[in-house]
Amino acid sequence: MMDPEFSLEGQVALVTGSGRGLGHAMAMRLAQLGAAVVLHDQTETSPAEYGEFTTLADSERVVAAFGRPTTAVTGDIGDEAQVTRLVAEAERALGPLTLLVNAAGGDIAARGGKPNPNTALGIKIEDIRALIDRNLVGTMLVCRAVVPGMIARRTGAVVNVASSAGHFGTSPEVVYSSIKAGIVHYTRCLAFETRPHNVRVNCVSPGATATARFKQTRQTDPAMLVEDGTLVRYGAPRDQANTVAFLCSPAARFIHGQFIRVDGGLTLF
């Protein structure tokens, strides 16, 4: 029998960016613990980019195998109208959202394993804007669409996904790192506003995690990563998923406005 402190029975979760990668692992874990889950990706075929799934429907079937209600929605989270639509579709399908995991995002420099000149002085303005929309603006728009309903019902939990890169200076992921630091601070600001309304808001900052995307875009040893002279293990997607599931659960009822680095000791400061 599942410990009720960790059960998500009766909860309805939207996990953005859950067609593949970390988002998919998070969606699976929430379903395992009893939540109904809305999967999301930008398009129906986005999960095929790194070979994990063929379509979003394929990804949804994997999550549905846990026996909980599921549905899938598509849309660009950097576009306000599309966010409004996809949240409405999610709630029509499974009911009012009580959990939100903002896992959509990523760095343009990782696309196709061919990095752009993503340095502080070399990155193109169109890439700066695309990264801001994909990560920070997208997180803000989805929160704006979902959190008011949680406040009205006086219940809910939000987990934003940042990155260990947002906690220290790095290159060539300069803009990505800066934006992820912004997500950490946005989490604190949103938490301040939701604190009186019984809606918890927290953030996880993943370190190097062995998703299909990461494996294809990093030419390095599959077991280890050297970062600033320090040897650090790769994490598994389930390491991030377990932390997110905990933050969504009743066991985390007294955790609010915090960020947790899930990075195997990469950032020890």
For residues 151-187, one letter each, b for 16 or more C-beta atoms within 10 angstroms of the residue's C-beta and e for the rest, the string is beeebbbbbbbbbbbbbeebebbbbbbbbbbbbbebb
**Residues 234, 236, 239, 241, CA torsion sign:** positive
Query: Residue 105 is which amino acid?
Result: G
Query: Residues 200, 255: contact at Cβ < 8 Å?
Result: yes
Annotated active-site residue in 50, 176, 186, 234: 176
d(CA 256, CA 200): 5
Asked if 176 is an active-site residue, the reply is: yes
- Return the active site residues: 176
